[in-house]
C-alpha cells in the first residue's frame, strides 16, 4: 500500500540526517532532485567566500602564504575519508577532464620503463591500448580518444554495460570506467573489476563523479590505485568547483604526469629552467588554482566531516524506493520506462525514459518547482541527495509528476523550447 503524507512525515521525524537540511540554502518552494548534476548551496559557503574576499582585500599577495597555496593538499586530506583514502593520497585540483589526461599520461609513462626504453610511437609500446566504456559520460571517452590521438595509442571502446573479459589482454595499458554510470545509475563492482584489470597487467582509472558523496567509497579496501572525481555534485562544492585526483601512496613517484605545470614542480619558486616533479601527490598539480572556489568547497567539506556515510546510503535508497512506490502504475500508463537498477547495483538516482516527451516533462516539473534534469535520448534523471532532501519532498515530487502526466501539462508549447543546458 502506498505511503500517505502522514507516513512520510513520520519517516522525517525519525530521520537521523534530518538536521542537515537546515544547513543548506534552497529557494522557497523548490524540491531539488538534481544534486547529481549540481549540489545545493551549503549556508556556510556564503560566509566562507565573503571571508576569502576580505582576505584578498586585506592580505593581497600575502594570502598565498595564509592558506591559499596549500589548499589543494589540505582539502584533499579533508576529502580523503569520504573516499576510503589516506592523508597525502588525494589532491583537489583542476577538472575531471584534466585529471583523466594526467593519469593516463602518468600511468603509461611509468609502464614504458627506463628513459632509454621510451619511444614515441604506439608500436614501440608493450601496452598500446586504452579502453573506455561506450555510453559513459562523454568527457571520459573524449579525453581517452584525444590522449590516444596525440600519444600514439589505440583507443578501444567496451560497449555499455558489457563485462571487460573479452576486451582485456596484454596490450591494454589502462581502462577508464565510471563507478556509477551517469545515465543509468548502475554501480560497478569496484573491487572485483580492479582485481581483474590488475591481474591482466593493466591499470584502471575510476571516475567517482556520481558516487563521491552519494555512497560509501573505499578505494583502499578495493585495491584502487588511481581515481578522479568532482566536488560540485553530491559534495556541494558549487558550480565549477574543483575536481579531485587520487593516487595511492605507493604509486606516487613512478613517472612524470604530462601536464607538467609550474605548481607541480618540486621547487616552483626556484624558477628553474628544467622541470622536476614534486614528490608525492603534489606532482599532480598543474597551474594556479582559485582560492575563491576552494573557500566554498572547504565550507562544504567541513560539513561532510559530520556525516555518517552508512546512514547516508540507507536514506538514499529509502528515498529512491519511496519515489518509485509513490509513482505506482502511472509510469506504465504513460509508456515511461524505469531503468533504475536494483538497490545493490545502483548509485543515488532514478532514471525514467520517455523518448518523445521526456524533455518537456522535466520542464513542466521545473515550472512546478520540482527540479530534475534531462539527457538525450529521452532520459529524465532524478538525483537523491539525502542531506537536504526529506521524505516529504520526495513524496510530493512523485505527486507532481503524476499530475503533470495525467493532466498533459507537458504538451504546452512553452515546454518544448530548449535551452543550451538541459
Q: Which residues are catalytic?
A: 137, 207, 232-233, 381
Q: Is 184 annotated as a binding residue?
A: no
- Here the cell at position 356 is 518523445
Q: Is 246 annotated as a binding residue?
A: no
How many Cα atoms sit within 13 Å of 37 on the Cβ side?
16
Q: Is 106 annotated as a binding residue?
A: no
For 148, other C-beta atoms within 10 Å of its C-beta total: 19
Q: Is 137 annotated as a binding residue?
A: yes
Burial group, residue 251, by CB count within 10 angstroms (0-12, 13-18, 19+): middle
Burial group, residue 216, by CB count within 10 angstroms (0-12, 13-18, 19+): middle
Question: Between helices 71-83 and 291-304, what is the axis angle to 10°?
Answer: 30
Task: Write the DSSP assignment of 329-370 as a string of letters.
Answer: THHHHTT-EE-PPPGGGB-SEEEEE-TTTHHHHHHHHHHTTE
Q: How far is the C-alpha of 330 from the C-alpha of 403, rounded, in Å?
A: 10
Q: Is 262 annotated as a binding residue?
A: yes
Count Cβ neighbours within 10 Å for each residue of 351-382 and write b for 16 or more, e otherwise: bbbbeebbbbbbbbbbebebbbbbbeebbbbb
Q: Is 138 annotated as a binding residue?
A: yes
Q: How far is the C-alpha of 272 from the C-alpha of 6, rounded, in Å?
A: 68
Q: Is 97 annotated as a binding residue?
A: yes
Q: Is 139 annotated as a binding residue?
A: yes
Contact, 72 vs 64, CB < 8 A? no
Map grid coordinates 579525453 to a residue. Answer: 143
Q: Is 210 annotated as a binding residue?
A: yes
Annotated binding site for pyridoxal 5'-phosphate: 96-97, 137-140, 207, 210, 232, 262, 288
Annotated binding site: 96-97, 137-140, 207, 210, 232, 262, 288
Amino acid at each position: 500500500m502506498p505511503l500517505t503524507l502522514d507516513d512520510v512525515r513520520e519517516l522525517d521525524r525519525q530521520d537521523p540526517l534530518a538536521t542537515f537540511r537546515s544547513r543548506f540554502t534552497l529557494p522557497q518552494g523548490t524540491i531539488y532532485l538534481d544534486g547529481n548534476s549540481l549540489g545545493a548551496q551549503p549556508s556556510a559557503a556564503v560566509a566562507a567566500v565573503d571571508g576569502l574576499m576580505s582576505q584578498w582585500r586585506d592580505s593581497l599577495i600575502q594570502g598565498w602564504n595564509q592558506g591559499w597555496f596549500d589548499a589543494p593538499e589540505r582539502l584533499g586530506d579533508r576529502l580523503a575519508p569520504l573516499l576510503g583514502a589516506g592523508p597525502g593520497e588525494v589532491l583537489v585540483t583542476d577538472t575531471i577532464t584534466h585529471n583523466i589526461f594526467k593519469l593516463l599520461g602518468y600511468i603509461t609513462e611509468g609502464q614504458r620503463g627506463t628513459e632509454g626504453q621510451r619511444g614515441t610511437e604506439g608500436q614501440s609500446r608493450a601496452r598500446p591500448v586504452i579502453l573506455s566504456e561506450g555510453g559513459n559520460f562523454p568527457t571520459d571517452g573524449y579525453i581517452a580518444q584525444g590522449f590516444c590521438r596525440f600519444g600514439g595509442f589505440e583507443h578501444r571502446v567496451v560497449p555499455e554495460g558489457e563485462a571487460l573479459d573479452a576486451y582485456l589482454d596484454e596490450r591494454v595499458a589502462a581502462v577508464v570506467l565510471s563507478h556509477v554510470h551517469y545515465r543509468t545509475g548502475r554501480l560497478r563492482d569496484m573491487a572485483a573489476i580492479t582485481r581483474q584489470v590488475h591481474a591482466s597487467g593493466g591499470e584502471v582509472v575510476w571516475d567517482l563523479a556520481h558516487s563521491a558523496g552519494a555512497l560509501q567509497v573505499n578505494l583502499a579496501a578495493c585495491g584502487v590505485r588511481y581515481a578522479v572525481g568532482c566536488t560540485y555534485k553530491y559534495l556541494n562544492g558549487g558550480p565549477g568547483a574543483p575536481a579531485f585526483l587520487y593516487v595511492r601512496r605507493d604509486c606516487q613517484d613512478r613517472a612524470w604526469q604530462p601536464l607538467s605545470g609550474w605548481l607541480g614542480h618540486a621547487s616552483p619558486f626556484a624558477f628553474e629552467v628544467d622541470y622536476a616533479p614534486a614528490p608525492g601527490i603534489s606532482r599532480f598539480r598543474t597551474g594556479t588554482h582559485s582560492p575563491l572556489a576552494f573557500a566554498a568547497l572547504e565550507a562544504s567539506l567541513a560539513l561532510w566531516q559530520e556525516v555518517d556515510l552508512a546512514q547516508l546510503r540507507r536514506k538514499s535508497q529509502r528515498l529512491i524506493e519511496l519515489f518509485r512506490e509513490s509513482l505506482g502504475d502511472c509510469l506504465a500508463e504513460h509508456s515511461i520506462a524505469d531503468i533504475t537498477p536494483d538497490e545493490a547495483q545502483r548509485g543515488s538516482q532514478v532514471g525514467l525514459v520517455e523518448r518523445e516527451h521526456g524533455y518537456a516533462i522535466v520542464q513542466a516539473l521545473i515550472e512546478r518547482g520540482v527540479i530534475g534534469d534531462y539527457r538525450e535520448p529521452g532520459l529524465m534523471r532524478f538525483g537523491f541527495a539525502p542531506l537536504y532532501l526529506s521524505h516529504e519532498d520526495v513524496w510530493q515530487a512523485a505527486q507532481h509528476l503524476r499530475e503533470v502526466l495525467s493532466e498533459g501539462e507537458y504538451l504546452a508549447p512553452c515546454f518544448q523550447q530548449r535551452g543550451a543546458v538541459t
